[in-house]
């Protein structure tokens, strides 16, 4: 089976940097995804990691350590519009399992 | 591309009624997923198809739920009879286009979600 853990809620200040962690236990690993979901909307794809290391994409970066079963999403220069839930999802042998998400609140 | 299309966007029905949710995946995608999202349980995978064939329906809660994919551009999720505990947002997602070339920014497993159907069963 698969188990994914991420914090339920986080609060950060506009302009700051925030790191959202995700740990997982999985039978088989074929990649880790981060999705962003604004309230009342569908999840949208942010990043994908299949090899160890950091993938940078503008203000967002995602890190993966397969040996530790660990990933984080780093958001820089936070903006109010970044207030959303961030879902960690792991691709096992045949399907993707989503974590319950981290609700990020950006405050002025 | 218009993205994944779902209908209806909102559905309110009474307990015992049949509900049919519809999904049109992104053209060229060969995987289609049905999810249910609630505050309590988060995003749950119900069933997914590959090339119109159901691969894993272990997430389907019970026999009241059924899903079909008669062709590559259309899928339905049916609940019969519906119950209040089925109230949730139902998302359809598709995947299948990507690259295996570094920097692996897009995977063939990257899923693109439709806007969802908000179902309320009274």
CA A6 to chain centroid, in Å, comes to 8
Q: pLDDT, tens digit, for every residue of A36-67?
A: 999 999 999 999 899 999 999 899 999 999 99
Name the phi and psi angles at A49, rounded to 5.
-130, 135
- Chain B contact for A80 (CB, 8 A cutoff): no
Which residues in chain B have their CB less than 8 angstroms from residue A48's CB?
Answer: 104-107, 109-110
Mean pLDDT of A72-96: 92
Band of pLDDT at residue A96, cut at 50, 70 and 90: confident
Distance between CA atoms of residues B24 and B5, nearest Å: 5
* Higher local confidence (pLDDT), B82 or B102: B82
Closest C-alpha to B1, from B77, B67, B96: B96
pLDDT at B106 over 90: no
What is the number of helices (H) and of strands (E) in chain B?
0, 11
Residue A90 in 3-state DSSP? strand
pLDDT of residue B101: 44
Band of pLDDT at residue A27, cut at 50, 70 and 90: confident
Q: pLDDT, tens digit, for every residue of B9-30?
A: 999 999 999 999 999 999 989 8
Over pLDDT 70: what percentage of chain B?
89
Over pLDDT 90: what percentage of chain B?
69
- The residues pairing with A71 across neighbouring beta strands, listed in sequence order, are A22, A64
Which residues in chain A have their CB less than 8 angstroms from residue B103's CB?
Answer: 55
pLDDT at B81 over 60: yes
pLDDT of residue B1: 63
Which residues in chain A have their CB less than 8 angstroms from residue B36's CB?
Answer: none
């Amino acid at each position: 089976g698969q188990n994914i853990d991420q914090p339920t809620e986080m609060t950060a200040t506009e302009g700051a940097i925030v790191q959202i962690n995700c740990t997982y236990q999985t039978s088989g690993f074929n990649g880790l995804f981060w999705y962003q979901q604004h309230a009342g909307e569908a999840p949208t794809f942010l990043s994908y990691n299949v090899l160890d290391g950091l993938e940078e994409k503008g203000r967002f970066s995602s890190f993966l350590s397969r040996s530790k079963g660990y990933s984080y999403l780093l958001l820089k220069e936070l903006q109010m519009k970044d207030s959303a839930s961030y879902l960690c999802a792991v691709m096992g042998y045949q399907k993707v399992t989503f974590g319950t998400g981290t609700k990020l609140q950006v405050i002025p | 591309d218009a993205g994944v299309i779902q209908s209806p966007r909102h559905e309110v029905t009474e307990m015992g009624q049949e509900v049919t949710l519809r999904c049109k995946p992104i053209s060229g995608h060969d995987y289609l997923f049905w999810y249910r999202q609630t505050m309590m349980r988060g995003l749950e995978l119900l069933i997914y198809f590959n090339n119109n064939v159901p691969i894993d329906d272990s997430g389907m809660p019970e026999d009241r739920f059924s899903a079909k994919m008669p062709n590559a551009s259309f899928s339905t999720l049916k609940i019969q009879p519906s119950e209040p505990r089925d109230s949730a947002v139902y998302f359809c997602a598709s995947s299948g286009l990507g690259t295996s070339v570094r920097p692996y920014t897009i995977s063939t497993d990257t899923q693109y979600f439709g806007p969802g159907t908000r179902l309320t069963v009274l």
